[in-house]
Amino acid sequence: MTQVSPRHGLRAVLRRRLPALFCTLLLLVAAGGAYIGMSRHAEAQLARDAQLRLSLVADTLNAAIKRIAGIPPLVGATGMVQSLLQHPDDENIRNATNDLLARTARANDLDDLFILDAQGVTQASSNFGETGSFVGKDYSFRPYFQIARKNEQPVVSYYGVGVTTGRPGYFLASRIAFGPGPEDFGVAVAKTEFSRLESSWAEGGEHVLVSDADDVVFLSADPQFRYRPLKHLSHATLDTLNVEQRYARHAPGVVIDLLRDLPEGAIATREVPGTAWQITAVLPRGDRQWQPLAAALAVLLAGLLATLVALTISQQRARRTADQRIKQDLERRVEERAAELVEAMSRLEAEMVERRQSEAELSKARDELIQAGKLASMGQAFAGLAHEINQPLAALKTYLSSTKLLIARGDTDSAAANLGIMDETVERLVQLSGDLKHLSRRSDNRLVEVDLAATAQRVIGLMRFRIRDAGASVRETLDDDVQVVADQAHIEQIILNLLKNAVDVAADATCKDIMVQASLQNGMACLSVGDCGPGVPESARGRLFEPFFTTKGVGKGLGLGLAISYAIARDHGGVLRYERTPAGQTWFHLVLPARPATGQQEQHA
């Protein structure tokens, strides 16, 4: 027997394993190179994309600013405004100027447009008829007035929170000269809010911050960053902000750390043209952080695949004949299996088509049933609508005749007062018809944010005729901001059904009280409708939400309202529950998942 020395055995092992070790090392080096290269490429691409995203956002903001640039000078040049500044005690000129400013603000989609005199007191404003009217307010402390008074700039821009309305906005002011004297001037001021712009950023998932010359963020897609500085503010800067009341009651918050407070990614910054503002955008890295690792794994997999191919070819050479037979047998089996799979797929596709058709027909039938139920409920609920409309129409006719006589007599003040009353009456009719149109519309199966309290109030308002005829009264306990994401028309249908049932019960009950409540409970939005009727018999409660089951008399209902409401609540991930309290009250509770909180919403005046 031949003896093999240990040295020769080691060499044989090395000869067999050295190629595998070399291939492994080569694959690791290639994967490392792919990881490094892809990392650099991904970072460079992320930076370019961040700059492009920032450019688009900045252009949008700049366009919103330029849109109102010419309005204050044009308004200040009108003869009406010049006459008001020369004759500030003439109420006729003031009223005409108020109307001019209101029309101009509506035509140019401005939030406010007002005129200041040389002392900074508002003489006319587009919101003259509103509760928070600017007329008579002193804004001499605002920087845009101070700069315009010194005549340092033809047009002055300023961003701040309105001390009267509490709403932030962009102010653009222009000096109005109407005489040779240094005090013969006024200031035209236009204000526009960027809330819609912020909302579009938030809806698009943008991480955008706009800061002023003092590095205080005043625009942000995320409300938590608003009125927070990008750096520590000096005492002098804080005093200036306080004197200007730039951000009203909002004191500058904690300094923003871009690297810590915002998602990890590329940060791009640039100035907004024509302003002292700076806009910052952060493009999150997101899925791009996996690109280097994916590239490295791809190289490893490609190398392993190549190695496997080489091994396969080597084995095929040694076993070509046997493999050929196996291949032929395998191909035959694959063809048989493929034929079976094709046949099974054909049957499955036919079943899927049939099921989709059935689901579409079922959905259409249910939508038609919901719409029919809504229209039937509305027909019963709004029986007194003609009488409600006839009263203001008769009043309008009376006021119209009176106004004609007043105009003929030259009593324009009384005629104007009559016109104001007529305008309020028309607004009530327009609101009523708008609410009716909104409630009667067909569902478009689109999910939106729905305020349960506001929706309940709208339905109660439209049901007031039926409630009055039943001799009932409604006690509302509606919390603010009870929001859900749902189909608006379907939620209105549920509330209409529940309220209609409560009115029917109250009409025959001794106690005429109807209770409507809306609140948030443990992350769920709950809307409840209650009455003091006898409730549902214990034996019938198990069938309460079944179609065509009703406890009403013959001809008073088909038994579909609660069944439809129950199905709608279930489709929205919620539930409709019945409760009979020991106090003798009957309640129906609609419980739906509440809309996730997105931060405290800003209050608007």
Label residue 604 by pLDDT band (50, 70, 90): very low
Question: Which residue did the predictor score with more confidence, 548 or 307?
Answer: 307
Lowest mean pLDDT among 132-146, 151-165, 591-605: 591-605
Per-residue pLDDT at 69 exceeds 90: no
Sheet of 473-478, strand order: 473-478, 513-521, 524-531, 586-593, 575-580
- Predicted local confidence at residue 387, as pLDDT: 52
> Tokens representing 323?
């493999």
What percent of the chain is modeled with pLDDT above 70? 79
Alpha helix ranges (H) inside 470-586? 488-508, 561-571
* φ and ψ of 576, to 5 deg: -115, 120
Q: What is the DSSP letter of 543?
A: G
pTM score, two decimals? 0.40
- Predicted local confidence at residue 605, as pLDDT: 36
Label residue 12 by pLDDT band (50, 70, 90): low
DSSP strand pairing (217-220 vs 278-284): unpaired
- Buried/exposed 355-370: b ≥16 CB within 10 Å, e otherwise: eeeeeeeeeeeebebb
- Predicted local confidence at residue 597, as pLDDT: 60
- Predicted local confidence at residue 365, as pLDDT: 60
Write out the H or E segment, with its range, that includes residue 123: strand 122-125
Q: Which amino acid is at 306?
A: A
Per-residue pLDDT at 583 exceeds 80: yes
For residues 251 and 216, the answer to whether their CB atoms sit within 8 Å is no
Rounded mean pLDDT, 561-565: 81
Measuring CA to CA, which residue among 296, 388, 409 is closest to residue 37?
296
pLDDT, tens digit, 9 for 90 and up, residues 16-33: 677 777 777 777 877 787
> For residues 318 and 123, what is the distance between their CA atoms, to the nearest angstrom?
101
Rounded mean pLDDT, 190-196: 82
> For residues 232 and 256, what is the distance between their CA atoms, to the nearest angstrom?
9
> Tokens representing 313?
């070819």
- Predicted local confidence at residue 566, as pLDDT: 87
Taking the domains of the chain in order of start, what are their residue ranges? 71-193, 384-440
What percent of the chain is modeled with pLDDT above 90? 15
pLDDT, tens digit, 9 for 90 and up, residues 481-530: 899 999 888 888 889 889 988 988 888 888 889 999 999 998 899 999 99
Lowest mean pLDDT among 87-101, 198-212, 327-341, 527-541: 198-212
- Predicted local confidence at residue 3, as pLDDT: 57
Label residue 555 by pLDDT band (50, 70, 90): very low
527 has which bridge partners? 518, 590
- Predicted local confidence at residue 22, as pLDDT: 73
- Predicted local confidence at residue 476, as pLDDT: 92
- Predicted local confidence at residue 601, as pLDDT: 44
- Predicted local confidence at residue 412, as pLDDT: 80
Rounded mean pLDDT, 271-280: 78
Q: Options 1.10.760.10, 2.130.10.10, 3.30.450.20, 1.10.260.30; which CATH number does 71-193 get?
A: 3.30.450.20
Per-residue pLDDT at 383 exceeds 80: no
Question: Which residue did the predictor score with more confidence, 55 or 552?
Answer: 55
